[in-house]
Amino acid sequence: MKKTLLASAIAAATFSGSALAMENASELAARMDSMPEVYGNIQYAIAHDNFDGGPSELSHFDNGSTLGVKHDHEIAPGITGFFKLELEGLAADDKDRESGLEDLDEAYIGVKGDSFGQVWVGSDDSTYERAVDEIAQYYEVAILNIGADYTTGEGDLVQYMSPSFGGLSLWGAVQINGDGDDASLGDKGGDKSYPYQLAAVYEMDALELAVAMDSNDGGSASNENTYGLRGSYNAGALRVTGEYHTTKDASDTYGVIGYYTMGANQFALSYELNVADDADDTETSTVTLQALHNLSDHMYVYFEGYLGGGDEVYEYTDSLGNDAVTDERSIASVGAVYYF
């Protein structure tokens, strides 16, 4: 009888302890789920930059190391609030640097829902950039990539992205430059303006089509709109994208890129051409090759080669201190990225 009572008491105590431990574990898991996510990366690169007939330079540098935090939570059924803060400027290659992470890359807050889409406010990649400017934004070192000739920046933005209507989504953004903005902080120094961007993106199976515009208000000499068009096709391991951007009295930009994924390896090859709207129709072109290898889920290494051509568009200072130009510039770079 005593043994039975003792066994029952031990069993009850064990069950209570297990239940308490499970309750504490569940509470801890819930708290962990509610904590912001911390992420970041360290990026190193080495590049050899050569001007045809001019100087060459070898450099080792931090290629944009960042540290960030993000979080989201349910405000109501079907409605989520979110924020993101990302800092760069770590200068991970320079131990003697007295400061770091003083540059803001992204910072925004917003809400999203299946019924109304997503709206967010702050500093982030712009609507035009995300919709149609793929090639120049892809590469790691990206010194010679041309990109589109649009001027609305990534700060002071209010952006919206609609739900998908049968594969079609509508995007928009407006940048609010007020009277009191500080030019020393990268604003327009009290020149009040409201440049805006619009985009439509259509996705159907392997095909993606996008069109976008940037009003460029107060940001370009001509103050003309920039219009861009992108088409992408995904065929298994292969992705191909073509782009066209035009700004009246500024330039036209053309580009095509192909990516091929093979296991842990990815290869990319692109061609970009910019034709300036000037008396000489000055041309600038870039051919870029990338070979990237994923060492793990958190680390990759890459090689990138850039060959730039054009109508004497690359300026440099010669050995005598005189300004000079050339029509060819090449860059070879290797790099490594660790991210979490």
Provide the residue-wise pLDDT of the chain in tens; the chain has 340 residues. 444 544 554 445 455 555 555 667 777 666 767 789 999 999 999 999 999 999 999 999 999 999 999 999 999 999 999 999 999 887 788 776 656 666 888 999 999 999 999 999 999 999 999 999 999 999 999 999 998 889 998 999 999 999 999 999 999 999 998 776 654 344 444 568 899 999 999 999 999 999 999 999 866 666 799 999 999 999 999 999 999 999 999 999 999 999 999 999 999 999 999 999 999 999 999 999 999 999 999 999 999 999 999 999 999 998 888 999 999 999 999 999 999 9
121 Cβ neighbours under 8 A, 6+ residues apart: 108, 109, 110, 157, 158, 159
Q: How far apart are CA 44 and CA 63, in angstroms?
A: 6
Distance, in Å, from the CA atom of 255 to the CA atom of 274, rounded to the nearest integer, reads 9
> Which residues lie below 8 Å from residue 173, measured CB to CB, with a gap of 6+?
126, 127, 128, 152, 157, 158, 159, 160, 196, 197
Under 8 Å between Cβ of 142 and 132: no
pLDDT tens digits, 3-15: 454 455 444 545 5
Residues 180-196 as b/e (b if ≥16 CB within 10 A, e otherwise) read ebeeeeebbeeeebebb
The answer to whether the CB of 312 falls within 8 A of the CB of 326 is yes
Enter the tokens of residue 282. 């000055």
Q: Degrees (nearest 5) of the Cα angle 56, 59, 60?
A: 165
Across-strand partners of 81?
73, 111
Report all structural domains of the chain as residue ranges with CATH numbers, in order of start: 36-339 (2.40.160.10)
Q: Specify the pTM.
A: 0.86
